[in-house]
Amino acid sequence: MKTYLVGGAVRDELLGRKVLERDHVVVGASEREMLRHGFVRVGHAFPVFLHPDTGEEHALARTESKVAPGHTGFEFDASKNVDLVTDLKRRDLTINAMAKDEDGKIIDPYGGRDDLERPWFVECQFSSSQYAKLGMWQRDLPSGVARFATLATLLGENACQALAKRLVPPKRYGRAAALAARYANIVRHWRADDAESICDALVAFASLKPAAARDEVIQVMARVAEIDQATLNARSQAIGALRLDAQSKPPEGREYGLQLRSARVALVKTWLN
């Protein structure tokens, strides 16, 4: 049984900030062993315990599997076979996926220490409460566009555009950030009364160039909306490709644009009902 300091406490120590909460991961232990050592269980969804002397939280190393929408839709495995690196992999950010052992050694399997030096992090100086909202440096978002687009959903369009000017390549990052920031709240709620705004978002995603950047922004938006990425991508492409029936006499100019928009909004409504 080994205990590690993890997450925000390690991050803040490396940043020279005051550590407000100290969370620990325990590897190679069972719930029965924790109770036998005097720990008090407080977690309901998964095994979390309070230390008998310090009162600090100690959680068994675990994995998570998404099985349903929302923040409660997870299944957990907290068996003795879950090692430290596997537990750290499930965390929201690489800067929160670091640990420190009892000898003071930093365990950093996903490059969190390097990410603390990234330009966006130094520029923005996020507060502790914002870290959990970013979800930005996960290893399944390998590209800078996807990461920066996720950042945009937190900072907003203007802040991201300003930051993009300091990064390379600014046009690719900036356009993706602008779309992500502009439509994040719309996509997040995905409601029928927002059909026109959702239509605008899907058209904008479909027109984003290059195609790789479009796919990455849609990946981020799918997470925000808790919608399957393939579904969101298909709907965006369907909206972007929609044209009026060519067999009838086609309207011209502004009239055509208005009718095409109405047809697109009607299609979006069928997905929302």
Are 65 and 158 in the same domain? no
Whether residue 100 is found in the same domain as residue 146: no
Query: In the chain, how many H helices and how many E strands?
Result: 13, 9
Domain co-membership, 144 together with 267: yes
Query: At 94, which CATH number?
Result: 3.30.460.10
**SS3 label, residue 106:** strand
* Per-residue model confidence as pLDDT tens digits over 12-33: 899 888 888 899 999 999 999 9
The pLDDT score that the predictor gives to residue 196 is 86
Q: What is the spatial distance between Cα 182 and Cα 95, in angstroms, rounded to a whole number?
A: 26
Is residue 10 located within the same domain as residue 110?
yes
Domain boundary among 115, 149, 175: 115
Within a domain: 120: no
- Is 104 among the domain residues? yes
User: Do 25 and 59 touch, CB atoms closer than 8 A?
Assistant: yes
- Structural domains counted in the chain: 2
Residues 151 and 251 in one domain: yes
- The ranges of the chain with pLDDT < 50 are 122-142, 166-170
The answer to whether residue 213 sits within a structural domain is: yes
Instruction: Output the CA–CA distances (angstroms, integers) from residue 100 to 3, 25, 91, 113, 195, in the order listed.
Output: 9, 10, 15, 12, 48
Does 124 reside within a domain?
Answer: no
Give CA–CA dist 146/132, Å, rounded: 17
The span from the CA of 133 to the CA of 154, in Å, is 7
Q: Are residues 103 and 173 in the same domain?
A: no
pLDDT the model gives residue 174: 58
Q: Which two tokens stand for residue 253?
A: 């100019």
Residue 123: inside a domain? no
Contact 49, 40 (CB under 8 A): yes
Partner residues linked to 41 by β-bridges: 49
CA distance 260 to 52: 66
**Separation CA 112–CA 129 (nearest Å):** 18
Question: Is there a domain that residue 187 lies in?
Answer: yes
Q: What residue numbers bound the domain in which 216 lies?
A: 140-272
**Same-domain pairing of 178 and 263:** yes
Alpha carbon distance, N-terminus to C-terminus of the chain: 52
Let me know if 23 is exposed, middle or buried by CB neighbors in 10 A (0-12, 13-18, 19+): middle
